Amino acid sequence: MAGGEDGAGQAGVSDAGPSAWAQELLEHLRPHGRDVGRVVAWLADAVRGTACLLDPSGALVAGTRPPMGEQLVDAVAAGRIASAAWEGRGRHLRLARVACPDPPAAGVLAVSRAEPFDRRAADIVGHTAHVLELLLRAGETTAAGRRLERATSDLRLAILQLLMVEDTVSARRVAAGLWPGLLDTDTACVYVVEGSAEERDRLAGECIDATGERALVVLCPAVDEHVIVVTPGETEARELRSLVGPRPRTFLGGSARQALVRTATAYGQAVSALAVAHFRPDKAAVYAERTHPERLVDPAALRCWTARVLRPLDALPHHTRAELLATTRLGLEFTAVNAAKVLGVSRNTVRARMERVETLLSTRFTDLTARAVVHVALNTQEGLAGAPADQVAPHDDPVSLRDLLSGPAMVTWAHDLLSRLDQDTRDLRRTLRAWIAEGGNAERAAQRLGVHAQTVREHVRSAEPVLERRLLAGGSDLYEVVLAHLALGDLEPPALHATKAGVQDAAVHR
């Protein structure tokens, strides 16, 4: 049977040498050629017939299925026989068992051709079955590795989300199993590395290698180009800088050192620094502490006012209150969609929590002045979280928002900031005031001013480099500009129950 009439050329093998087919088969084990479908197609061509691979359930995996008896297929798949041959209707059929990564189940390789199977054709079928076993086993190993990587990535994200809502106890408990000692710290810095979305997985892997598992490296759930790194040490920060340097179109923004419970604040600082990094030669920047308006007011008065503003939330259970505050803090810094991705909840959940805070505080977050004022209160409250009780002013001290903002230092700061806009002949200051008054809506501001909406956007965009603050993106930078307008009386204070002292006690206790 093994005579010359079924030689290599007749079998479809390109090389007439005795080992040509084996060499071609081995090529399919190279990393670039590992494809079950391609191997089955090669086999069909090599034996000048048809071939297919069936999974343990009998479903077609690859190739063209020839007519064959199901009982014979079941017997091979079950291991009752290792292989089988059948002849009839002018066709010759060979079945070979292909072990799958999940024993005792096995697939079946079925090959059909018009000529009888000589020694060479039978060898090709047998060796191909072994190659398919190797490919299936390698594929399962790769898939298992990917599942493990996804699970680990999800766990890292879960830890970050716990930190974002100030649940450091649970975050440490989750991290302890895989990364012992990772969060055994009271303070940490947050860094955001920006690259391309296509290269982000590789970039995250390099961040993990650079920090040596001494940092929490997370794929940002909100921005596809970002990798978030929470690190307690300074060495890791230097490693991240060296990682960014040689890579094109890769940037690094870092926060100031913050208490671990203030991870959300640190994250906001890192994002702000990242915007600055785009204009730095070394493509890296760390958040620079500047004169924030809340630091220009009497600390005792600010604490008193903050306590009054947030008093309606005091009656809530501790967990609920912390959840609402953490969500609102992120929701004021970012869009509801991005805040939801960071927290791992739906955007409707974020909006529902913020609406509940709106109701409790008797205000609306569509008003930029209300957003700015509540933002100050939340940041002040967060800063007081670890302060001794004797440093927190009692709730009954009368103080109003106007009192807070009317001090000489505050007014001087506000005038110095907004007067920068006066040098532009387009009256950017007037446009910005109208845009803020209309809740950041360019169309409504344009109607108020009698100009085109695009003109409003261009004016606001032009004001950003002059004020050295991002306005269109919202968040802390915008709120500082809003507070400057309030301090100078260019905007009316928001309708908030605690903005006037001694008058809203009834509203506070509703």
What 8-state DSSP symbol labels residue 33?
G
Classify the C-alpha dihedral 404-406-407-411 as positive or negative. Answer: positive
Q: Which of these, 277, 281, 286, lies nearest to 195 by C-alpha position? A: 277
What string of H, E and C letters represents the secondary structure of 78-129? HCCCCEEEEEECCEEEEEEEEECCCCCCEEEEEEEECCCCCHHHHHHHHHHH
| Triad 328, 334, 336: Cα angle to 5° | 70
Whether the bond between 388 and the residue before it is cis, its omega within 30 degrees of 0, is: no
With tokens 């007439």, the residue in question is: 16
- Number of residues written out for the chain: 510
Q: How far apart, in whole angstroms, are the C-alpha atoms of residue 373 and residue 375?
A: 5
Alpha helices in 366-452, H assignment, sequence order: 368-383, 401-405, 408-418, 428-437, 442-449
Are 159 and 145 a contacting pair, CB within 8 Å?
A: no
In SS3 terms, 248-303 reads as CCCEEEECCCEEHHHHHHHHHHHHHHHHHHCCCCCCEEECCCCCCHHHHCCHHHHH
* Pairing of the two strands 284-286 and 251-254: parallel
Full pLDDT tens readout for the chain, 510 residues: 233 333 333 334 444 445 677 666 766 666 555 678 888 888 888 888 888 888 887 788 888 888 877 877 878 777 777 778 888 777 888 888 888 766 556 788 888 888 888 888 888 888 888 888 888 777 676 666 666 677 778 888 899 999 988 888 889 888 887 788 888 888 999 999 999 999 999 999 999 888 877 899 999 988 899 999 999 878 888 888 888 888 888 999 999 899 998 898 899 889 888 887 887 888 998 887 666 788 888 888 898 899 889 999 999 998 899 889 989 998 998 888 988 988 888 999 999 999 999 999 999 999 999 999 999 999 888 766 544 444 444 545 567 888 889 889 999 999 999 999 998 899 999 999 999 999 999 999 999 999 999 999 999 999 988 887 889 888 888 999 999 999 999 999 997 764 443 333 333 332
In eight-state DSSP terms, residue 227 is E
Q: Which of 383, 363, 382 is nearest to 373 (CA)?
A: 363
CA distance 256 to 258: 6
Element (H, E) at 229: strand 226-231
89: left (phi over 0), alpha (psi -120 to 50) or beta: left
Taking the complete model, does pTM exceed 0.85, yes or no?
Answer: no
